[in-house]
Amino acid sequence: MALATPEKCKSQVLKFDSEEHVAVAVAKYTADLSEKYVKEKGSFSVVLSGGTLIETLRKLVESPYKDSVDWSKWLIFWVDERVVPLDDDDSNYKLAYDGFLSKVPISPSNIYAINDKFSPEGAADEYEARLKHLVKRKIIPISDATGFPKFDLMLLGMGPDGHVASLFPTRQQRYEKKRWVTFITDSPKPPPPRITFTFPVINSASEIAMVITGAELANTVKIALGGEPFPGPSPLPCMEVLPEEELTWFLDKDAASKL
Ligand SMILES: O=C(O)[C@H](O)[C@@H](O)[C@H](O)[C@H](O)COP(=O)(O)O
């Protein structure tokens, strides 16, 4: 059995001249992984975040990928979601639907949005139960190394405070070790009620892309990648991202400006 160790995870930092170049590179990277995983296992599970990521995915819904990617094999999940109605402007589902999912032929039955009728706690329980069902039906595999579900690709953003998903430096959800999905009612980034994948699930993914653009993230990128000792009591959440196979940082010039 292959054990996930930091030594096994390959990590690379890619720097680009502009956000536009990041968008081009992320589209190619995602399309290449789609081809690889569809060939290897017949499907491609992609976990989205909210924020600027969806805008950065814009090249994926253009030529040549719009026609070359086998969208029928894609399964879509959210690493975190705001607990608001799915048609609310704060919904990560709505953001992804408007900017990405409505433009490509992914089957609606392969798009796993949260159930927006529940409280944050109920929505987290229901999403976790749905994931467990998908594992039981062998639609999502379990990582041999960790016992948590293993998604093919997670596309993550990062906040200036170093949060990823809805795992914030000052909130205890980042330390959750048992649950697959948990909830938060006091997110420092609005809106406050959210659900989020936990680190054991995030780090059981095969591949993770950290897609980071903009000067306001330069200091955090420097802390995460600059090689200097972390100044606080525990590392930032973004520093704890360590998937099973490969971690790729996509940075534009502004985000990389302090490296
Ligand atoms: O619901 C959310 O807010 C997102 O999923 C969140 O985790 C996001 O990825 C980061 O906050 C980065 O956001 P930006 O890309 O907008 O900086």
What separation in Å is there between the alpha carbon of 83 and the centre of ligand 1? Answer: 14
Helices (H) and strands (E) in the chain, counts: 7, 9
Cα–Cα distances in Å, from 71 out to 43, 48, 75, 131, 248?
A: 9, 15, 9, 21, 23
148 close to 204: Cβ distance less than 8 angstroms: yes
Contacts of residue 161, defined as CB under 8 A and 6 or more positions apart, other chains included, come to 168, 169, 170, 188, 220, 236
Alpha carbons within 13 A on the beta-carbon side of 76? 24
Cα–ligand 1 centroid distance for 57 (angstroms): 14
Q: How far is the CA of 159 from the centre of ligand 1 (A)?
A: 6
CA distances, 167 to each of 30, 109, 227, 242, 254 (Å)? 24, 28, 22, 14, 24
What are the backbone dihedrals phi and psi of residue 240, each rounded to the nearest 5 degrees, phi first?
A: -105, 5
Write the burial class of residue 242 (CB in 10 Å: 0-12 exposed, 13-18 middle, 19+ buried).
middle
3-class secondary-structure state, position 223: helix
Q: Which helix (H) or strand (E) holds 247?
A: strand 246-252
- Ligand 1 centroid to Cα of residue 50, in Å, is 5
Could you tell me which residues come within 8 angstroms of residue 158 by beta carbon, excluding any fewer than 6 positions away? Answer: 164, 210, 212, 217, 220, 224, 238
In this predicted complex, what is the ipTM?
0.95
Q: Looking at the domain that runs over 27-252, which CATH code has it been given?
A: 3.40.50.1360
Which of 19, 52, 84, 182 to mutate to test ligand 1, by most ligand atoms within 8 A of the CB atom?
52
Query: Is residue 243 within 8 Å of residue 145, measured between CB atoms?
Result: no
Q: Whose CA is nearest to atom 4 of ligand 1?
A: 50
Question: 63: closest CA among 88, 31, 91, 37?
Answer: 31
Give dist(CA 201, CA 124) in Å, integer.
14
The ranges assigned to domains in the chain are 27-252
Print pLDDT tens along the chain (259 aa): 333 444 578 999 999 999 999 999 999 999 999 999 999 999 999 999 999 999 999 999 999 999 999 999 999 999 999 999 999 999 999 999 999 999 999 999 999 999 999 999 999 999 999 999 999 999 999 999 999 999 999 999 999 999 999 999 999 999 999 999 999 999 999 999 999 999 999 999 999 999 999 999 999 999 999 877 888 888 999 999 999 999 999 999 999 999 9
